[in-house]
Structure 1
Amino acid sequence: MASSHPPAQLPLPLLVDPADTVRHEGFDLPAHASSVARARAVVGGQLRRWGFPEDLGHTAQLVISEFVTNAVLHTDSGRIGCSLQLRGHQLRIEVTDEGTDNCAPLPRSATPDEVNGRGLQLVGALAERWGVSAGDTRCGRVVWAELGTH
């Protein structure tokens, strides 16, 4: 005898658009020169775990290195916050400092014989976008860059 009830419907599988996928990794470091190398290592390791190619890892390491170096050298921070956020095909790198001044880092034109002063120009050449935002209510700023992952 046939049942009068309709067959049970199975749920459809969820289709996840990679553009909707968000991954996040954050870490804090003391504002010391030795933290620059640590930030590079953490970023490189995380991008390898997420399965990204080595060239993206090198670019991200250069960006985090520049941002952490600037926070160490040019602010009175005790700690530096670092964050990686992957959303779809875009990697956002953020470094938060505790500086008490209100001036944002700006690229400058270094003379050919100067050793320093080219880092933010490099970031500008490598990133799709970069900028500076106000920090939280304590003080400081967030310097960020967005890199394409494809």
Structure 2
Amino acid sequence: MASSLPPAQLAPPHPAHPAGAVRREGFELPAHTSSVSQARAHVGGQLRRWGFPEDLGHTAQLVISEFVTNAVLHTDSGRIGCSLHLDGERLRIEVSDEGAEHCAPQPRSATPDEVNGRGLQLVGALAERWGVTVGGARCGRVVWAELGTC
């Protein structure tokens, strides 16, 4: 017997994973502007495969988009690392770069006429927490954000 509900309504509203399950996904991209859309697509696809609702996918895509854009525009990286880490009810998004500058990105106040400069403020509004780890094995930095999955 066929269901009369559209496929989107048949999907579970929350991730189908055992409590406490840990999932990880990582990928690298060249530090080019075209990588921003690739990162967005990869994150959206992975979260769909893990069974997350579309609204969480959109938020995660916005966050990764901002982080990858900043790594491309504001570092001298050749490659950018991206990772997703699901642990319980929290999704952690990380973007690492190879930038030689060891300073943490800071939100800034853009004037009404400026096109850019609001991305990290937006991340701060959407994420439960976010931050930057400078240095480490790859040099550069890791910018991360944590999103609630419920």
Output the TM-score relative to the length of structure 2.
Answer: 0.87
Letter in 2 for 1:105: P
Q: Distance in 1 between matches of 2:21 and 2:51?
A: 14
Q: Which portions of structure 1, spanning 4 or more consecutive aligned residues, are displaced by more than 2 angstroms? A: 134-138
Output the TM-score relative to the length of structure 1.
Answer: 0.87
Letter in 2 for 1:34: S
Instruction: Give the drift of 1:17.
Output: 5.9
Q: Distance in 2 between matches of 1:96 and 1:79?
A: 9
**5+ long unaligned stretches in structure 2:** 1-16
Instruction: Give the drift of 1:32.
Output: 0.1
State percent identity of aligned pairs: 81
Q: Which residue of 2 aligns with 1:130?
A: 130
Q: Which residue of 2 aligns with 1:105?
A: 105
Letter in 1 for 2:31: A
Q: Which residue of 2 aligns with 1:144?
A: 144
Alignment partner of 2:111: what SS? coil
Deviations 1:30-89 (Å, cap 9, x if unpaired)? 000000000000000000000000000000000000000000000000000000000011
Alignment partner of 1:58: what SS? helix
Q: Which residue of 2 aligns with 1:62?
A: 62
Q: Is the 8 A contact 2:94 2:143 kept in 1?
A: yes
Alignment partner of 2:51: what SS? coil
Deviations 1:11-31 (Å, cap 9, x if unpaired)? xxxxx961x210000000000
Alignment partner of 1:66: what SS? helix
Q: Distance in 2 between matches of 1:94 and 1:66?
A: 11
Q: Which residue of 2 aligns with 1:3?
A: none
Q: Distance in 2 between matches of 1:122 and 1:75?
A: 21
Letter in 1 for 2:24: H
Q: Which has the higher Rg, Structure 1 or Structure 2?
A: 1
Q: Which residue of 2 aligns with 1:118?
A: 118
